[in-house]
Structure 1
Amino acid sequence: MRVHFHGAAGEVTGSLHEVDAEGRRLLLDCGMIQGSPEAERRNFEPFPFEPAALDALIISHAHIDHIGRVPLLVKRGFRGPIYAQAATAALMPVMLLDAASISEGEAERANRHRRNSEPEALPLYTREDVQAAMEQVQPLPYDTRREIFPGVEIAFREAGHILGSASVELWTHGRDKDGRKLVFSGDIGPRGTPILRDPASIDRADLVLMESTYGDRLHRDRADTIRELGGILDAAWRDGGNVLIPAFAVGRSQELLYWFARHWEEWGLARWRIFLDSPMAAKVVDIYDRHADLFDEDAKRVWREKPNPFRLPNLHVTASREESMAINRIDSGAIVIAGSGMANAGRILHHFRHRLDRRSTHVVFVGYQAEGTIGRRLVDGARWIRIHGRDVRVNAQRHTVGGLSAHADQRGLIDWYGVIAGSGNGGHPPLALVHGEDKAREALAGEIGERYGVTATLARPGAVLQV
């Protein structure tokens, strides 16, 4: 096998790795590049390979930085099967149709203001392109080894990141002992993440591609984090304002509702009006309900004994634009969970535009904020933010609640890798670090080298590794 690194090789978004295996060309993920406008323009560039020459696409999970260019890949000629865990396959059209709608809207706004000499703005892809791509998706369950081509097999293992997230095992030469095995971590969740089962252990590999998003830090203890979140809500209530939470529609939003249900009485949540402000929210909740067999035991117990997190008595799921706009007429007592999680698009920007200038507003960041995003600028202390062409003063109180991350921290990544044996020598397999900024990757590589004696490769676009 040969691995060609194309995306998320020195950055956190745009996951894209090509594998040559037994004469077949496979792609691991096809994610969107997110961040600054300059970074996002790279999504329109040609792929560094010919899409029509690919034989299959294998998806790790349904976040846009891992699936966001799938319709574009199909639009440009890819005709092979797309393999995804069954819950991921259910989430993909919801996520991709939203991305298409955003892209179509941005193109429409750009064309309204373009000069006659400027070329027409086009969306990255359309909703029709999404529908065409979904016809190629083939759902697979966890823990089932499947031959996808002669001499090439794959299996999905629980990654504990979001519903349906998977680490990928890829074998060549079937079950022959002389075959080779590649493991792609996808995004690995922390152990003990609410709702989700813990990441599965993988026994051996000849090469591991591992994410490194938080390779340079340790998360706060989860119990301390939850106490902090409760304290923020109490402070916001005393200040008489609203709470704004940028959150991904899949994963973090459901976890927040889980904690609201679990601490319903303790945090006095009956006094609040809670809004899940996302056109995707109802669809995602329905998918979670249909895949409740993937929940961990604690989540199943909460669903039995507490208010159902997805049906809290004061939860309002706002699907329409008019319902979303009406929230901004509420001056106090509202908790608003809205996308996007990095505040680079979506309805959260409208709420920021109306509320960031107020000291009584509390903004809570519960996930990673990539370079170039509005979320990252706010976390870094920006006093002014430009939203939809308008400069907005930031007087709101900002909170970064790191312990709710859906990504494993440095210790979690080291432990996940540490149980994987290499082939033949009893040590650990070669390792390439992807999906991380250099500071995080260098710190993680140093720790792994010291502990296991393995020199990790920091993947770069255009680099090739032989397995």
Structure 2
Amino acid sequence: MERSNNLPEGGFPHLFHHGAVRGVTGSAHEWVASPDCSVLIDCGLFQGGDVGPAGASADDLAIDFDISRIQAVVLTHVHIDHVGRLPWLLGAGYVGPICCSGPSAKLLPIVLEDAFRLGVSRKPADVERFMARLEAALVPVPFGYWHALEMADGTVAEIRLGRAGHILGSAHVSCRLAGEHITVFSGDLGAADAPILPEPEPPPAANVLVIESTYGDSLHEGRKTRQQRLEDALVKALRDKGTLLIPAFSIGRTQELLYELEAIIHRQRGAAMHSFLDWDELPIILDSPLASRFTQVYRELEPYWDEEARERLRADRRPLAFEQLLTVDSHEAHMKMVRHLAGTARPAVVIAASGMCAGGRIVNYLKAMLGDARHNVLFVGYQAAGTPGREIQRSEQGGSVRLEAETYPIRAAVESISGYSAHGDQQDLLRFAAGIARGPEEIRVVHGDEGAKRALVDKLDTHFRAAGQPVNVWIPLQ
């Protein structure tokens, strides 16, 4: 393949952004260490209307950038918009290591087996061959230590992972060239008060910072406020004896929701929610085999939880496996549950993927229940432009949405709680950048809608100017 990116005349490192610069999804950033050697940070799926600089999109996921100099892939975390194009990368001929944190190495095969079946091939032989290649390429890297990368031309390059607090195993990545110049890729950063996980830890040094901006123009509600709003949403939604539908990503958001729901039920144990329903009797239905598998891995990786979560375990509570939690596995059981909840007055909470309503089991619930005012939809995470979730969120009650080529009226009430996003808000992003003890000299703002990126640029620029620290803050396009 001919090289599609021209390298600069000057020194190294150099950066190319192959995704998440014209939208939020498709993260892929190339750290070029020498004329013949580079490292790819993430290789994510495009979703909704997002496109890459060279034209890749949700409808065309073929690798559209030169991979001949890529010596290693480093993953910040395992959300599909950061890892979903790995099957296409391997198919394009990439044969090097895939580095990530230890927890991510446990989660990634689950994510990509599902993605491969949905997007590439369901043939068992193809799946087995892909999974074998993936497992052979995985290199778990511990947090907080410099890890040397083998570069074909002898270039001295290292990576270091730091905790990002976004989902289990999520990391920001520092790339160091010749023991001196450091470029930091934030990946997705979590909120300082997110459940289960320790808060993000800024790296000690950076010459260049590439930072996400999903909520670069927003401030989340505090944890206490959003817990109360979640409880209020449950009470309100179930007053009409309908179902509360919560679209959620299988990994990260789902586990945080379960954790918070367990806390509410524990606090309200023995009390009545309504005259017809006690809190103890409220079924929480997790209808996602993938989310169930991830939740099990979360339980197995308890040493990576924060102190509050481990304290609940010591108190004999089961924040991710409580009594009211019901799981639905088979497709037959899923369809039976959809029919049962749509046709009865049984109050229930359903958590199902996908988080943006672009596929997965939540779509069947929406098709069956959106037209019935007894039911409610609660969004707890970001909805990308061009996705059904954004359309439902924008239209709300009285509008309509297209799901799988058909239009459905929206009579169910629609509500959003921003605080449960796994992404940090503007203040969290600023805290991360300002917390870097040495540097940065340059900040590139990516992974956000245009308004969010510009708002974060302004905020960062104002902060560093006031601190007397000259920083070039800008928005790359490629």
Q: In 2, are the aligned partners of 1:185 and 1:209 still within 8 Å (CA)? A: yes
Q: In 2, are the aligned partners of 1:421 and 1:429 still within 8 Å (CA)? A: no
Equivalent in the alignment of 2:24: 12
Alignment counterpart, residue 279 of structure 2, candidates 255, 265, 269: 269
Equivalent in the alignment of 2:434: 418
Find out whether 1:27 has 2:27 as its counterpart.
Answer: no
Distance in 2 between residues matched to 1:13 and 1:438, nearest whole Å: 13
Equivalent in the alignment of 2:91: 75
Q: In 2, are the aligned partners of 1:185 and 1:208 still within 8 Å (CA)? A: yes
Please say which of residues 219-228 and 61-70 is displaced more in the overlay. Answer: 219-228
What's the TM-score once normalised by structure 2's chain length? 0.87
CA distance 1:306–1:238, shift in 2 (3 Å): farther
Find out whether 1:347 has 2:361 as its counterpart.
Answer: yes
Q: CA deviation at 1:9?
A: 0.9
Equivalent in the alignment of 1:92: 108
Equivalent in the alignment of 2:473: 456
Q: CA deviation at 1:430?
A: 0.8
Give the letter aligned to residue 472 of structure 2. Answer: T
Please say which of residues 252-261 and 449-458 is displaced more in the overlay. Answer: 449-458
Q: In 1, are the aligned partners of 2:22 and 2:51 still within 8 Å (CA)? A: no
Runs (5+) with no aligned partner, structure 2: 1-12, 269-277, 466-470
Give the letter aligned to residue 312 of structure 2. Answer: V
What's the TM-score once normalised by structure 1's chain length? 0.89
**Matched ranges for 1:354-433 at <5 A:** 354-381=368-395, 383-422=399-438, 428-433=440-445
Q: In 1, are the aligned partners of 2:71 and 2:96 still within 8 Å (CA)? A: yes
- SS of residue paired to 2:159: strand
The superposition leaves residues 240-284 of structure 1 with CA deviations (integer Å, 9 ceiling, x where unpaired) of 100100000100100111011112144553222211111212321
| Higher RCO (C-alpha 8 Å, min separation 6) | 1
Distance in 1 between residues matched to 2:220 and 2:27, nearest whole Å: 23
Distance in 2 between residues matched to 1:173 and 1:38, nearest whole Å: 34
Q: CA deviation at 1:41?
A: 4.5
Equivalent in the alignment of 1:235: 236
Q: CA deviation at 1:43?
A: 5.6
Q: In 2, are the aligned partners of 1:420 and 1:429 still within 8 Å (CA)? A: no
- SS of residue paired to 2:200: coil
The superposition leaves residues 270-328 of structure 1 with CA deviations (integer Å, 9 ceiling, x where unpaired) of 22221111121232122112211110001111223263122221211111101111111
Alignment counterpart, residue 437 of structure 1, candidates 439, 449, 455: 449
Alignment counterpart, residue 156 of structure 1, candidates 158, 161, 165: 161
- SS of residue paired to 2:17: strand
Give the letter aligned to residue 204 of structure 2. Answer: D
The alignment covers a number of residue pairs equal to 436
Q: In 1, are the aligned partners of 2:76 and 2:172 still within 8 Å (CA)? A: yes
Equivalent in the alignment of 1:249: 250
Distance in 2 between residues matched to 1:370 and 1:131, nearest whole Å: 33
Q: CA deviation at 1:101?
A: 2.6
- SS of residue paired to 1:432: strand
Distance in 2 between residues matched to 1:129 and 1:52, nearest whole Å: 20
Q: In 2, are the aligned partners of 1:365 and 1:400 still within 8 Å (CA)? A: yes
Aligned-pair Cα RMSD in Å: 2.1
**Matched ranges for 1:183-262 at <5 A:** 183-262=184-263
Equivalent in the alignment of 1:103: 119
Distance in 2 between residues matched to 1:46 and 1:266, nearest whole Å: 50
- SS of residue paired to 1:91: helix
Distance in 1 between residues matched to 2:370 and 2:319, nearest whole Å: 28
Q: Percent identity?
A: 33
Q: In 1, are the aligned partners of 2:283 and 2:324 still within 8 Å (CA)? A: yes
Runs (5+) with no aligned partner, structure 1: 109-121, 462-467
Distance in 1 between residues matched to 2:232 and 2:114, nearest whole Å: 33
